[in-house]
Chains A and B, each alone.
Chain A
Amino acid sequence: MVRNAGEIAKTAEVGPEAHDVDDGVRGRDGLTDGMRDASYALAETLFTTAEGPPDEERLTWLVNDLDHFLSHAGPRARSVYRLCLFAVSSLAPAMIFKLPPFRRLSLEDRAHALERMEQSPVGMAVFGAKAILCILWFEHPASAREIGFDGKCRTR
């Protein structure tokens, strides 16, 4: 699904909420509207399964949590993520001889482009963006269930 800047709702609450920590960053966005859209498109590509793309609500929760993450993690985290996202948005389409931006490609083309880029010498950029999206995605109880993670401890 092609989305325009700022179109993604910022209110979906279908995943775990974050604990409150007083570090003064409340109300400050970690993502610009453009980054939200690009992150949504990247996440939709990464987490599409045989059943199709994930629910919009789940993806919106993910983007909101990413926003919260980058707000609190500090300026360097935001810069590095922004750099990785920019590299994916602008370089991945070139991997399949298409024009950027990445988010305007079809889902199938996006997947193909990302796969190519992941194997390329600039694969580090994919890894950087994918890493944080995966960490957040698999924390969602439904995602954890899907991969069989129950978080049990080994008590003596």
Chain B
Amino acid sequence: MSYHSARDHVGDLVLDCDVVVVGSGASGAVVATELASAGLKVIIVEEGPNIPSAKLGQMRVSESIRHVWRDGAFTIAIPLGDTPAINVTMGRGVGGSSMLTGGVCFRIPDPVLDTWERELGLVEYTPKKMEEFHAHVEKAIHVEEVPKEMRSIGTNLFAEGAAKIGLTVESMRRNTKGCNGCGRCNFGCPHGAKMSVDVSYLPRAVEKGAQIFSHCLVDKIVMDGTRAVGVRGRLLNKRGGAPGDRLTVHARRVVIAAGAWHTPLVLERSGLGNREVLGKNLTLHPAFRMLARFDQEVRGWEGALQSAYSRTLEPEGITYTGLFVPVGVLGATMPGVGLELAQNAKKIGHLAMFGGLIHDLGGGTVHRGLGREPYVTYRMAARDRAVMPKLIRTMAEAFFAAGAREVFLPVLGMRGLDADALKQLRLEDLPGKRFECASQHPLGSAQMGSSPRRSVVDGDGRVWGTQGLYVVDGSVLPTSLGVNPQLSIMTVATRLAWRMPPISAS
């Protein structure tokens, strides 16, 4: 048996392997699969539960949130200065955040790779050298372009309006196979069409002998001098899922893939990593949604959840991506109480939605909290704060150009606005904390670089000053990307796995 739940285990658990991978998300699954395929004995430890995709796809949206979204989606990056509070959503389960994506797959943009090469000295990360890794992952997770007929009416309306105001909208690529356009990819696909790593990679890892242990919490990396020799933690096998018996994994190589939120803490608790940099440089891609009401019925839930994007304003740090959210979430974002809320909720079938994110310059820091969970602060850079009103206003203008009657801005408590009211509104004057903001892309808190003074890991993911200890998740990406990072994280993880020096299989 290769899937194990620590909930079923009584007493301390001691394991031996060649490689222990901490975290089973987009990066951990990739590295585990690549190393298991190379003949190594791999153990993956995951804090969250193992919920098979077929079961997740049958759950209500809120059930998915309560079981596999970290903190039930209540995670907040604490705003500093004139910054919105940012609701950051992450996965917690076998498959990690890849279970929560809309399946969007962008390659690492060439200008981003150019920056890494020129300014950070990461000379192995050129577009040409990354080509084979991109192609390898795209094949493994079945990346395909979303056909136009799978777009929702809402997305088509945005595209129509966007064209009128000079934005180019293109079809997205996603990791899907047989998508029926049910508009709920983030909460589990009812037809198993999303090729998240729990479907695409982990079964291959298991086939090659990898073992996955869910409900395991890693506290520390065990070192022998400068060499990593395993991890220590707890099994979540006490009442209420609390930490119980001890977990010890002896390994010849340790791979940390706990995500940009937790990787810095695992390193810090172990006394590892450059303290000047570790936990800093966190980028989030702060994102905003726009709702628009049309006379016609839109039924935004019918169609691929995310199917189109626009990068026309990327020079200003703005990317627009199509999306839809469950009707309950829409209800929550509608202003009003009682009768007003009920009236607004009845408009849901007439609402179109689109989103935009900022290619941010950073400003986040992961701090060690009182318990084992971190607290995170985020101060939006002046350039990013300045671009926020334009990002929002342009989406509204696109919808009005397509014939929307009113728009609901991502401003707390703000009622619907018609086109004239939008013109009168000075968004620039609103304080940052009035804005509703979300993030699904925490990156960069254990960044890679060519200098041990300015980074946590080298270009091959090895923690500076150690042997046998690698970080492979989104925390190593040294800058934000300006696009959804799932494919980028998997591509970098593939490169790091292939570059790891051989160890003889035990």
Contacts and interface: CB of A to CB of B under 8 A. Distances in A.
Interface in A4-48: 16, 18-19, 21-25, 28, 45-48
A147 B346 contact: yes
B55 A155 contact: no
A81 B74 contact: yes
A34 to B, nearest CB: 20
Contacts of B71: 73-74, 76-77, 80
Given A124-B85, A154-B181, A48 B338 contact: yes
A76 B436 CA distance: 20
Contacts of B303: 154
Interface in B133-157: 147, 149-150, 152
B416 to A, nearest CB: 14
A18 B59 CA distance: 8
Interface string B1-42: 000010100000000000000000000000000000000000
Given A77-B71, A77-B72, A124 B433 contact: yes
B433 A155 contact: no
A56 interface: no
Contacts of B240: 24-25, 28
Q: Identify which of B63, B329, B349, B373 gathers the most chain A CB atoms within 10 Å of its CB.
A: B63
B345 interface: yes
B313 interface: no
B339 A19 contact: no
B62 A65 contact: yes
B345 A138 contact: yes
B332 A131 contact: yes
Contacts of A121: 431, 433-434
Interface residues of A, number: 59
B452 interface: no
A149 B330 CA distance: 12
Contact of A19 (B59, B61, B345): B59
A50 to B, nearest CB: 6
B413 A155 contact: no
A23 B66 CA distance: 11
Given A153-B302, A154-B302, A19 B55 contact: yes
B326 interface: yes
A76 B74 contact: yes
A115 B413 CA distance: 8
B163 interface: no
Contacts of B394: none
A134 B7 contact: no
B261 to A, nearest CB: 12
A91 to B, nearest CB: 14
A80 B74 contact: yes
A139 B184 CA distance: 13
A104 interface: no
Contact of A69 (B66, B75, B215): B66
Nearest to B236: A24
B67 A21 contact: yes
Contacts of A151: 182, 301
Contacts of A130: 332
A134 B373 contact: no
Contacts of B373: 76
A24 B7 contact: yes
Given A135-B62, A156-B147, A111 B241 contact: no
Given A23-B67, A48-B338, A65-B62, A135 B348 contact: no
A148 B336 contact: no
A149 B349 contact: yes
A124 B180 contact: no
B369 to A, nearest CB: 10
Contacts of A144: 327
Contacts of B338: 45-49, 111
B316 to A, nearest CB: 28
Contact of A123 (B49, B61, B413): B413
Given A47-B338, A49-B339, A135-B65, A154 B75 contact: no
Interface in B332-348: 332-333, 335-342, 345-346, 348
A69 B72 contact: yes
Given A16-B60, A137-B328, 10 more contacts: A22-B49, A24-B239, A114-B337, A118-B335, A127-B332, A132-B72, A134-B332, A135-B62, A148-B349, A152-B299
Interface of B: 5, 7, 49, 51, 55, 58-63, 65-67, 69-76, 85, 147, 149-150, 152, 180-183, 190, 215, 236-242, 299, 301-304, 326-329, 331-333, 335-342, 345-346, 348-349, 373, 412-413, 431, 433-434, 436
Q: Would you list the 8 A-B pairs with minimal beta carbon distance, nearest first?
A: A73-B72, A154-B181, A77-B72, A135-B328, A134-B332, A138-B328, A153-B182, A131-B332
17 contacts: A22-B49, A23-B7, A23-B67, A23-B215, A23-B236, A47-B338, A70-B66, A72-B66, A76-B373, A115-B336, A118-B412, A131-B329, A147-B349, A148-B346, A153-B180, A154-B183, A156-B150
